[in-house]
Structure 1
């Protein structure tokens, strides 16, 4: 069984997606097909969105689910009349907050992500650029500027986690891959990392999961073999134990969950200007 799920917004649609996907993750029965329709901010665009929604319903014969963050009243009325099961996030929460605060909402699309009103915007962009510039141990000389340095074997999730830490929290995160060559020499901490011990955080992963990820990149290679993955993971975990480096196992967690756990375990706070 599958259900079509639409995320509709008169802005980017990021809020509708994030909230909606968090709710859908609690249900394992249906197969959800996601469609995001951003910037539905006029009657004309709303009509086009309705055509897409109605077409999906006529083809599949199932009622679509619609997560919506729309402030335009006319567009909102059109979506509510679509025949879909509608979850209107703004209307669910804004009236209660309006009463609590004794203040009318701005009713301005995209307010949360405005680059003019959000002083953290440029910090987050700088943090993402830092993560890209300091990916895979490229520029160790910049580690003094890092808030955190992620360690781990290849394909354990370091790069996407660093980028997410920058984008979501404004954290300057670098990453250093502990390679097969490093582990052939010693199971001690690589020398270039010693001055930054207090910034280090380790990622580990189940060897079977790692082998599957590596196989997608280099099929039937030694790099992707279960034996090699087992050796690298056990060796890097030994380094974490010897050096008392905090770590998290990334196997069953999304990037968002990994980053949030890192923030909680290290006590790092959002770095916003």
Structure 2
């Protein structure tokens, strides 16, 4: 990297809502630039001119402190508020200016400019389904219950700490998918069979695996020095789990180097589950 290019930049996510959309956009773009460390700051709920002035001052303060303009990802929809914030000393990446205005011209329809529209409960039935999915997923985490598995959209299996719980919750929260998950344990391997409640729902099952080395690292954070976390035991469990999934004809992937988003997208495709409707 040339010496005159800073190896660290501050990135600010400004939004009239939670800032999740701005962060998602920002992370996707920033991931393309290697060798630079990004310090991230979120400024959410900028829904008034008073808050806009405060946000502008924060951005200016960052520019002064860093000695260089921060990069600002903005999803502000109110034109007046947006104009105030854009007067700050930052390099602006504005989602709505870049995408909404061209779409208005193409569609011949003005956008609503409603604050927080992307996260508004615009469809009560859709919102209800998402809440039900979250409740279902929490109740069926880690094989807590086999009640109503017929209502599951997907059942994740894999050895303990292979990523089943975070993936299940992501599917529920982002897509309204009812996801149950079951750990594969030594008793299952000794019997040579799936957990007893699962065979009737094999068409809903998807497996997660993980490298034994990574699994040992994760388990040692929870139970350091235990047999459960030993590399030898992790190798044994992973090998047995993968053998079982291959024998049962269950689709699976390794979570070792994949993000939750990548894992979830693969599951949606493999099981032909629907995507959210906006």
- TM superposition score category, shorter chain reference: over 0.9
SS in 2 for 1:223: coil
Distance, in Å, in 2 between the alignment partners of 1:161 and 1:36 is 24
> What TM-score, normalized by structure 2, do the two folds share?
0.93
Distance, in Å, in 2 between the alignment partners of 1:148 and 1:93 is 34
Q: In structure 1, which of residues 150, 158, 179 is the aligned counterpart of residue 156 of structure 2?
A: 150
Mark the CA change 1:84 to 1:271 in structure 2 (over 3 Å): closer, same or farther.
closer
Mark the CA change 1:270 to 1:92 in structure 2 (over 3 Å): closer, same or farther.
closer
User: Do the aligned residues in 2 keep the contact of 1:123 with 1:271 (CA within 8 Å)?
Assistant: no
> What TM-score, normalized by structure 1, do the two folds share?
0.94
1:97-149 deviation digits (Å, cap 9, x = unpaired): 11111111111111122114464111111101110000111111221111111
User: Do the aligned residues in 2 keep the contact of 1:152 with 1:204 (CA within 8 Å)?
Assistant: yes
Distance, in Å, in 2 between the alignment partners of 1:156 and 1:119 is 33
User: Do the aligned residues in 2 keep the contact of 1:187 with 1:238 (CA within 8 Å)?
Assistant: no
User: Do the aligned residues in 1 keep the contact of 2:56 with 2:86 (CA within 8 Å)?
Assistant: no
- 189-198 or 30-39, larger mean C-alpha shift: 189-198
1:15-38 deviation digits (Å, cap 9, x = unpaired): 111111111111221111111111
Aligned twin of 1:40:
46
* Counterpart check, 1:268 vs 2:263: no
Distance, in Å, in 2 between the alignment partners of 1:96 and 1:44 is 29
1:71-119 deviation digits (Å, cap 9, x = unpaired): 2223212222211110010000111111111111111111122114464
Distance, in Å, in 1 between the alignment partners of 2:83 and 2:168 is 41
Alignment of 1:167-246 (within 5 A): 167-183=173-189, 185-246=190-251
Distance, in Å, in 1 between the alignment partners of 2:128 and 2:149 is 20
Aligned twin of 2:10:
4
Question: How far did residue 195 of structure 1 move?
Answer: 1.6
* Counterpart check, 1:131 vs 2:126: no
Which has more helix, going by share of residues?
A: 1
Aligned twin of 1:28:
34
SS in 1 for 2:45: coil
Aligned twin of 1:53:
59
Aligned length: 271
Aligned twin of 2:167:
161
User: Do the aligned residues in 2 keep the contact of 1:134 with 1:142 (CA within 8 Å)?
Assistant: no
User: Do the aligned residues in 2 keep the contact of 1:150 with 1:203 (CA within 8 Å)?
Assistant: yes
What 5-or-longer segments of structure 1 have no aligned partner?
none
Distance, in Å, in 1 between the alignment partners of 2:148 and 2:49 is 51
Distance, in Å, in 2 between the alignment partners of 1:220 and 1:30 is 36
User: Do the aligned residues in 2 keep the contact of 1:148 with 1:201 (CA within 8 Å)?
Assistant: yes
Question: How far did residue 6 of structure 1 move?
Answer: 0.7
Provide the aligned C-alpha RMSD in A.
1.5
Question: How far did residue 63 of structure 1 move?
Answer: 1.9
What 5-or-longer segments of structure 2 have no aligned partner?
1-6
User: Do the aligned residues in 1 keep the contact of 2:140 with 2:146 (CA within 8 Å)?
Assistant: yes
Distance, in Å, in 2 between the alignment partners of 1:202 and 1:105 is 42
